[in-house]
Amino acid sequence: MDYDVILIGTGAGSYISAVRLLKHKKKVLMIEKDKFAGECTNYGCIPSKALIEMSESVHYLETMPGMNMNYKLDMKEWQKWKESMITRIRTGTENLCKSLGAKIIYGTGKMVDKNHVSVNNQTFSTEYIILDTGSSPVKIKGIDDVYYNREILAVDSIPEKLVVIGGGYIGIEMATAFKKLGSDVYVVEMMDRILPEIEEDLARSVDKKLRSLKVNIMTGSKVLSVKRDKKYKVSVENHDDITADVVLMSVGRVPNTGDLGLENLNIALDGRFIKTDEHKRTNVDNIFAIGDVSGAPMLAHKAFYDGYIAAENILGNNVIVDYKAMPFVVYTDPEISFTGKATEKSNKLPVLANPRSLTMNQMDGFFKLYYENDGTLAGAGVAAPRSSEIIGEMTLAIEAGLTMEDLFLTIHPHPTVSEGLKDASDING
Amino acid sequence: MDYDVILIGTGAGSYISAVRLLKHKKKVLMIEKDKFAGECTNYGCIPSKALIEMSESVHYLETMPGMNMNYKLDMKEWQKWKESMITRIRTGTENLCKSLGAKIIYGTGKMVDKNHVSVNNQTFSTEYIILDTGSSPVKIKGIDDVYYNREILAVDSIPEKLVVIGGGYIGIEMATAFKKLGSDVYVVEMMDRILPEIEEDLARSVDKKLRSLKVNIMTGSKVLSVKRDKKYKVSVENHDDITADVVLMSVGRVPNTGDLGLENLNIALDGRFIKTDEHKRTNVDNIFAIGDVSGAPMLAHKAFYDGYIAAENILGNNVIVDYKAMPFVVYTDPEISFTGKATEKSNKLPVLANPRSLTMNQMDGFFKLYYENDGTLAGAGVAAPRSSEIIGEMTLAIEAGLTMEDLFLTIHPHPTVSEGLKDASDING
């Protein structure tokens, strides 16, 4: 065999798999048709977090009493910084894989049979294959001349007027960031609320804040057409037409299965995803699938975990997936995070009772802990500044089977947002 | 008896004790000679975090490529906001105590005997007493006409030139914040490094950053005199005199034991602190001491914990202190945090390998996990943005006896600073 393992796609999951396999002396080929490190690093979570971070600081200073702040944002310059920052991450991961001995080929990888993969007119034999080709935005016929995540994160100026079609987490993150950076923002969502994939009370806290920021939210609304001339004209059922500079389409993502040669091998699907078992193995026993292409939730950290599981199984360790506590974050205002599951019993503390949040001039949101009858922590929903950084603690607590009392008795530094979790765990007075 | 429990001082620890006792139907009197809620809320951690937060946002935007930012800071206006923010916290805690039935008297409480406390010429009988009178800045004779934490946090303009005497955590937090808000800052420290109370590698990352910000750090240096005319003139051994607008003295804090009537009761001391056992009980069995007055570390969250221990013991529950993992945070750049203990084995990951930090344009620092031979997590030292929010997770893990592998197998959301902890826990490849 030319290789022990060939990975098609080099995103979050592949990177983790490859490093693990390489450290255990496996011969690894990684095939990438675009940029090393995938959608999240190059076009998704990383650039969006950078933009959101800037928008939050601007908004915080603009609304801080006593602070009189003016700014001019040269987005072309900022994009250069963003690219250099991403390049640092991308080359860091690529160089680590190379230094551990990975072979990397740029091109479109396709499975010829269960032990052969072709790329750039070469064919390589391999014992195992890992498919990690990610996902792409849903495109709607007739209204596809719009911006998606890649384009919106590459703008060279802040649009005067932005219409976001789809009020899921990507749309709402971008709506919040661009509003804070000065855009007039419209959100059109077919469902009866924004963030339909998120717990309702978390979504409500974001909806409330967006409305106070004067974002125009149209729920239960259907886009009829999007026409592009110099500007966009967006027709929404039962609303006046909206003229806009930029239209972001964010109505979901679909797995990238097109070029893989799945048909050659009768690889089973689950809807549009590649079907995998609890070892992340497809119905063909030496072929694994990880990350977005292998099923929801489409999250980079789920891909990391999948990558670990696949690598361990290839290394002969019988490890299975356990999504008991899968954190989910939306970088909005307030920042909302969820992990574990909702149970009947819960305890809720308002952000107003968290001094650290007040020092940041933030007063919206809550800490909600879900627990079993015996006091075991089952889930957490947090709408609070920097909640992304504290939901890991709740995930760890749930995975370890800890109780509300364990959390309550753990000293948390003061003043922090994290102590809101401790305070919310005080169910015995 | 007039009361079940009289608390002298209403700071962090008292608040926790009082609420717990009140919820269990105890009759409680709280005596306060200054402002309800103590030093931390009114003059310490809360206003300092608000100032630091603003300074960080200003510095972040000032150094972000593409962002051209100008600001004028009206500190008088900002101070009004700060006061309203603090008032919200203070009245929130005071109103909760009142609503649960606490009697609150403003005045200087003094113990007459072990069951009687006087205040404002009245004397009340009580079954238990809790002493929580906090601490004050060390003042040096002859150079006491300077600023301390209260004054520096109440300035109505940003000083042009600031000299900080004492490079401990209060001094260094203020040096960083005022430098970022435009002051020319000098730090004079007698020891051979700043932050002498902190792990050396954590302190070094702050020292490096402060020097890159052009803060003038003089270690191993002794202040000979401080003279005040219109401006201050500070003489430092082996250095040129420094002319400054403000001199902050931050060379330590001493417990407030002066007015308590300790001498009436022969209450034992430990150095200058009130001596307590593991139940937070003094040598007089119905008198407890908590918070700064009862020993180091002088931290609000240690006081919270003390307050809980004292209340539980008064309620008849035999609970003892366990400072196995006591987090410690310094809100500097990078933000540094420590919990647990240092062991021989450790694993270190640079912040450069943490994508979320890079999205914030932060590249300095590290995640360091200490562990026992069997893999049990023992301690953590983190120099990274928002490390204060993730050190709670490590504290919980240590208290629960979790291992490096437990941490590694817990899914952390991407991209976050917290996933740096997970990545640093990967010791088995």
pLDDT (tens digit, 9 = 90+) per residue, B30-87? 999 999 999 999 999 999 999 999 999 999 999 999 999 999 999 999 999 999 999 9
The CA distance from B301 to the nearest CA of chain A, in Å, is 5
| CB proximity list for A237: less than 8 A, separation 6 or greater | A221, A222, A223, A224
Element (H, E) at B31: strand B28-32
* Residue B329 at interface with chain A, using a CB cutoff of 8 Å: yes
Residues A274/A289, Cβ–Cβ less than 8 Å? yes
Q: How far is CA B342 from the centre of its chain?
A: 21
When pLDDT is averaged across residues B332-350 and rounded to a whole number, the result is 98
Rg (CA), chain A: 23
Element (H, E) at A293: none
Considering only the C-alpha atoms of chain B, give the largest distance between any 2 of them, rounded to a whole number of Å.
69
Residues of B in contact with A89 (CB under 8 A): 355, 358
Quote the percentage of chain B above a pLDDT of 70: 100
Same fold, A3-137+254-314 and A149-251: yes
In three-state secondary structure terms, B137 is strand
Is the pLDDT assigned to residue B146 strictly greater than 70? yes
pLDDT for the residue numbered A264: 86
| For chain A, domain boundaries | 3-137+254-314, 149-251, 328-424
B410: nearest CB among A81, A396, A409: A396
Residues of B in contact with A389 (CB under 8 A): 386, 389-390, 416-418
Q: Are B399 and A406 within 8 A, CB to CB?
A: yes
In three-state secondary structure terms, B284 is coil
pLDDT (tens digit, 9 = 90+) per residue, A91-136? 999 999 999 999 999 999 999 999 999 999 999 999 999 999 999 9
| CB proximity list for B410: less than 8 A, separation 6 or greater | A325, A392, A395, A396, A399, B422
Q: Which overall architecture, per CATH, does domain A328-424 show?
A: 2-Layer Sandwich (3.30)
Amino acid at B32: E
Torsion sign across C-alpha atoms B40, B44, B47, B50: negative
Residues A230/A243, Cβ–Cβ less than 8 Å? no
* Low-confidence residues of chain A: pLDDT under 50: none
* Residue A107 at interface with chain B, using a CB cutoff of 8 Å: no
CA distance A69 to A74: 16
| CB proximity list for B343: less than 8 A, separation 6 or greater | B370, B371, B372, B378, B379
Residues A102/A120, Cβ–Cβ less than 8 Å? no
pLDDT for the residue numbered B429: 65
| Residue tagged active-site, from B59, B279, B412, B414 | B414
- Provide the edge-to-edge strand list for the sheet that holds B223-228: B223-228, B232-236, B242-244
pLDDT for the residue numbered A418: 98
Residues of A in contact with B80 (CB under 8 A): 65-66
Give burial (CB, 10 Å; 0-12/13-18/19+) of A319: middle
What is the dotted CATH code of the domain comprising A149-251?
Answer: 3.50.50.60
Q: Are A395 and B412 within 8 A, CB to CB?
A: yes
pLDDT for the residue numbered A429: 65
Amino acid at B324: K
Structural tokens at position B351: 């912040």
pLDDT for the residue numbered A428: 76
Fold of the domain built from segment(s) A3-137+254-314: FAD/NAD(P)-binding domain (3.50.50)
ipTM above 0.90, yes or no: yes
Residues B348/B366, Cβ–Cβ less than 8 Å? yes
Residues B124/B29, Cβ–Cβ less than 8 Å? yes
* Residue A181 at interface with chain B, using a CB cutoff of 8 Å: no
Other beta carbons within 10 angstroms of residue A364's beta carbon come to 18
Rg (CA), chain B: 23
Is the pLDDT assigned to residue B170 strictly greater than 90? yes
Give burial (CB, 10 Å; 0-12/13-18/19+) of A385: buried
Q: With bands split at pLDDT 50, 70 and 90, how would you rate the model's confidence at B428?
A: confident
Q: Are A46 and B421 within 8 A, CB to CB?
A: no
Q: Are B400 and A400 within 8 A, CB to CB?
A: yes
* Residue B342 at interface with chain A, using a CB cutoff of 8 Å: no
The CA distance from B268 to the nearest CA of chain A, in Å, is 27
pLDDT for the residue numbered B70: 96
Backbone angles phi, psi at A75, to 5 degrees: -65, -30
